[in-house]
Amino acid sequence: MRDVPQGIKVTKNQLGYEAVVAAKWDDKSIVDKKVGEVLDAFTVTEYGNGAK
């Protein structure tokens, strides 16, 4: 899903979300990821039988 820097991608049977670290402030950042790294992501898939 990395063709979208941050956001939601929808295809025929999938919905995907990816959050990328966009900025950090030296004394206020609490995540140990670097700028540009994925912080959180998920994909929801709908299968042929309608299950998700």
> Quick one: pLDDT at residue 4?
45
Q: DSSP H helical segments within the chain, as ranges?
A: none
Per-residue pLDDT tens digits for 2-49: 554 568 899 999 999 999 888 888 788 888 888 889 999 999 999 989
Q: Which residues contact 2 (CB under 8 A, 6 or more apart)?
A: 18
Q: Is residue 2 part of a domain?
A: no
Q: How many domains does the chain have?
A: 1
User: Is position 13 within any domain?
Assistant: yes
Whether residue 29 lies inside any domain: the answer is yes
Domain membership of residue 1 (yes or no) is: no
The boundaries of the domain holding residue 24 are: 7-45
- In-domain check, residue 23: yes
| Domain contains 51 | no
Nearest to 40 by CA among 19, 25, 16: 19
